[in-house]
Structure 1
């Protein structure tokens, strides 16, 4: 049974798409928020995301458990985060250059080891339905979410609490704002930054597992479409605030769902423009939120982009 919703089908499809598409943005941005709060930027998250998608799909296929696949993807992301953190800890090494190298490494290794995984079908993550009260099939489908989406919201709240109310959050913020002050207080700079980068890698790996094990729910070499890089811009837009990262992820997720939503009601003109909405939104947001005085408002002062 289907119900003709008319023009309301578009916002409903965008809502459902936002809930699905926003999840990888949310996880990657939250992880990068912690990394950048410690004073380090990681542009290699795109490679970590793709490698996590491959590792998660392969882990689910081999173990028969999608949740073990998510864990394997997260651990793979930790490995990439530790590699990035260790290399960036060497003298005269640029964070941005290392990030680009790690992005190429992650995507290349994922494509090499992931070729045998393109055809086999791995067990997928379950869905939680919040629309069982409705008789409208489109609404029930729109309100189906992954448990990872709910976990991402919880992580955002916990990170916001950590940065404001806990000693660990204070240490990370101090290391990111003034390495000299943190060193004077006796806090270890490199271990904190490496740990924060490893956490960012874990979150990016889980985001990749979401892509391959839930939405779109398959492994292929074009699974990411630049979401790891967009998430870095999303953190800047959110002003390094975990709660704002959640809102920004929903906004970017809705933009990513706009093309399929319009196609579902028969709008085919401007097909490529609709699918480019997340990238256009990235440019527009960075343009309108940038100024000489407020472009890096709230940025940790030890970040490479602030020096």
Structure 2
């Protein structure tokens, strides 16, 4: 088995959900790979320095460096680390995590070329990103989906005597959490008994704004803060519809988890969503920021048993294709 140095945001704070470096890294270890990680530092300068030092420290030990690559400021971690790997003659893989990476390719074509043209392999967790990269001339792309351990997501029968919405994400402007509160208010104005539970850490100060909006609109929202996977799966038993309000997205694990749990999904139709969810088969897709359209989709699920049964059955079936028992062979093939 090979030795892997995994570069990414290996943070464990109240502001961060579990990242791919933490979930995928643990699963690769379970397959017998030896891993080292960078970095746990919250301070961004220290985090970058730790990542670079790890590349130097483990240059003789590591067979491959895996670099989580994002579309916002963290893009530059990948830029600096990848170029150091080139200098050290360390083969590196990029693991594409940023839903807005296509825009980054257009805005920073030179820096993007430095990273992706010199990677031993570029790995996309979504068909959406793979196609977007190929359209920009990056033809050596490998699709390996995000993954879950299916045994941790039991399907529990739901009752639909009221609307109980679940939202799971970090509170960040790009995920448009305010829309969830507006949806709940609209449902209540239409006479429905509607509850909303929002799970996730506050990553950019948006939580304060969402709470203020909930107070202004006079809606009672349950804010749990960051929960572990086990905790939020347990909490999901009280909900019956999962909503995703994001403005940008790739292939979020939270939606795969929701499908695995048998929650019918209503999501904005952005980024990788139509590649992950076929509209009216595995979920209902609506225009981003369109509160009325999301409310209409929620009511359709609530009122029409045939619709929700179809979404639940097909969603679970789709989630099974993301099981680690399936995905691990793809990783084994590319790493070996």
Q: State the structure with bigger RCO (CA 8 A, min sep 6), 1 or 2.
A: 1
Larger fraction in strand = 2
Q: TM-score range by the shorter chain?
A: under 0.3
TM-score, normalization by structure 1:
0.27
Larger fraction in helix = 1
